[in-house]
């Protein structure tokens, strides 16, 4: 699979933006970290850092479609599970242990087990760390691509994406809200369309899909920002949110069209691989670190110390856990998934008219 080194840099930058949003804005506003004031202009800038998650979703749309092409359903499932679950298991367990030894309320065994699903809120349990909310969207997107692979329709992804984008646009125009359309889902769709611009010979068609899905996602981000502003949680400008996300799309489009995978950047693999553990461990463990040192260090020293520690920890998790155990987890998921997926393929119902229409 081709590597897009600039995506790794964007992924890491987005993770750092989310980290800084929590450290300089959110955790101060909600009282998790006791500082008399925030970080001034730094907080003013990074109150928009939550948009890093939006950028993650765009990148996921691009990368997941890239990884699905030329793979069987079993190969795709194994690759995604190996990428997502082992690091989550380690980071969630690490967070649970840090919470236990910090003196905070202990995470119960049922809650820990529920978190192993990666979507605990959907089965009535609180997440070990609030940042896990985004994983539900990732998993749903993975499942959708897996289903398309399973029914043998990945070659028709252009038609599928066109139909999805059209329905999303119609629902937007009539102001109807249906789960799975609009909102965060348009970020994934925009990422997929961006990949088609890179990969597809019909670039004009893919560009239309990209423009529409990007526009809908910007509108969605603007609406979410307006709700945040009205709630009083952040003093953000919805217009600024729209400008930031639009600028991200312009950058992604330009890099995809003019650079593609034809550039090597130093340490891009390591930087990209550090991103996921950084996102998973920074919040709760970061809060605990701040609470332990905020009477010893100045506010700015604490920020530098905690941020550095968390980034170093994230790299070490990648280097000495993910990288070393990758082969084990890949083989484990091969054993776990291959036969059930083969069974699903065997019992798949073939509808001749449907198949003829698509083909």
Residues with Cβ < 8 Å from 214, sequence gap 6 or more? 186, 190, 193, 246, 249
Of 226, 306, 312, 314, the closest CA to residue 39 belongs to: 306
Between these two residues, 261 and 58, which has the higher pLDDT value?
Answer: 58
Distance separating alpha carbons of residues 123 and 119, to the nearest angstrom: 7
Task: Classify residue 71 by burial, with Cβ atoms within 10 Å: 0-12, 13-18, 19+.
Answer: middle
Please answer whether residues 286 and 298 qualify as being in contact, where contact means their C-beta atoms are separated by less than 8 angstroms.
no
Between these two residues, 68 and 3, which has the higher pLDDT value?
Answer: 68
For residue 239, is pLDDT > 70?
yes
Q: What is the band of 1 on the pLDDT scale with cuts at 50, 70, 90? A: low
pLDDT at 38: 87
pLDDT at 2: 74
Across residues 162-179, what is the average pLDDT? 95
Question: How many CB atoms sit inside 10 A of residue 191's CB?
Answer: 28
Mean pLDDT of the chain: 93
Task: Classify residue 132 by burial, with Cβ atoms within 10 Å: 0-12, 13-18, 19+.
Answer: buried
The domain locations on the chain are 5-347
pLDDT at 354: 46
31: Cα within 13 Å, side-chain hemisphere: 0
Of 209, 184, 196, 225, the closest CA to residue 65 belongs to: 196
- Integer CA distances (angstroms), 320 to 87, 90, 237, in order: 11, 11, 42
* Coil vs helix vs strand at 354: helix
Across residues 10-30, what is the average pLDDT? 96
Task: Read off the DSSP letter of residue 119.
Answer: -
Task: Read off the DSSP letter of residue 51.
Answer: G
> What's the whole-model pTM score?
0.94
DSSP labels, 301-345 = HHHHHHHHHHHHHHHHHIIIIIHHHHHHHHHHHHHHHHHHHHHHH
pLDDT > 90: percent of the chain: 84
Angle ∠(67,342,339) on CA atoms, nearest 5: 100
For residue range 136-150, list pLDDT tens digits in order. 999 999 999 999 999
Q: What is the band of 358 on the pLDDT scale with cuts at 50, 70, 90? A: very low
pLDDT at 357: 47
Of 179, 204, 44, 49, the closest CA to residue 122 belongs to: 179
Distance separating alpha carbons of residues 65 and 154, to the nearest angstrom: 9
For residue range 178-213, list pLDDT tens digits in order. 999 999 999 999 999 999 999 877 789 999 999 999
For residue 306, is pLDDT > 70?
yes
Across residues 17-37, what is the average pLDDT? 93
For residue 352, is pLDDT > 50?
no
CA dihedral 337, 338, 342, 345 (to 10 degrees): 50
């Amino acid at each position: 699979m081709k590597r897009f080194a600039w995506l790794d840099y964007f992924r890491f930058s987005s993770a750092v933006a989310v980290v800084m949003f929590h450290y300089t804005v959110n955790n101060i506003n909600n009282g998790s970290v006791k500082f008399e004031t925030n970080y001034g202009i730094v907080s003013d800038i990074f109150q928009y850092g939550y948009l890093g998650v939006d950028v993650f979703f765009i990148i996921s749309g691009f990368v997941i479609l890239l990884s699905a092409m030329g793979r069987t359903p079993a190969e795709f499932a194994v690759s995604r599970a190996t990428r997502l679950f082992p690091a989550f298991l380690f980071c969630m367990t690490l967070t649970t242990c840090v919470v236990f030894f910090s003196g905070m309320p202990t995470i119960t065994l049922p809650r820990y087990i529920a978190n192993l699903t990666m979507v605990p809120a959907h089965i009535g349990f609180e997440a070990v760390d609030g940042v896990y909310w985004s994983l539900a969207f990732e998993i749903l997107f993975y499942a959708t691509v897996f289903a398309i692979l399973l029914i043998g329709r990945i070659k028709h992804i252009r038609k599928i994406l066109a139909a999805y984008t059209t329905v999303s646009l119609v629902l937007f125009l009539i102001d109807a809200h249906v789960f799975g359309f609009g909102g965060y889902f348009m970020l994934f769709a925009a990422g997929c369309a961006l990949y088609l611009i890179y990969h597809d010979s019909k670039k004009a068609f893919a560009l239309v899909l990209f423009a529409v899905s990007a526009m809908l996602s910007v509108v969605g981000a603007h609406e979410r920002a307006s709700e945040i502003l009205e709630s009083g949680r952040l003093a953000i400008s919805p217009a600024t949110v729209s400008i930031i996300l639009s600028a991200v799309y312009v950058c992604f489009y330009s890099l995809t069209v003019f650079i593609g995978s034809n550039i090597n950047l130093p340490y891009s693999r390591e930087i990209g691989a550090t991103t996921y553990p950084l996102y998973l461990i920074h919040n709760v463990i970061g809060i605990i670190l701040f609470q332990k040192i905020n009477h010893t260090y100045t506010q700015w020293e604490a920020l530098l110390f905690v941020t550095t520690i968390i980034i170093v920890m994230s790299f070490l998790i990648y280097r000495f856990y993910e990288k070393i155990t990758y082969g084990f987890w890949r083989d484990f998921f091969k054993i776990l998934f291959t036969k059930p997926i083969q069974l699903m393929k065997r019992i798949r119902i073939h509808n001749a008219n449907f198949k003829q229409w698509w083909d």
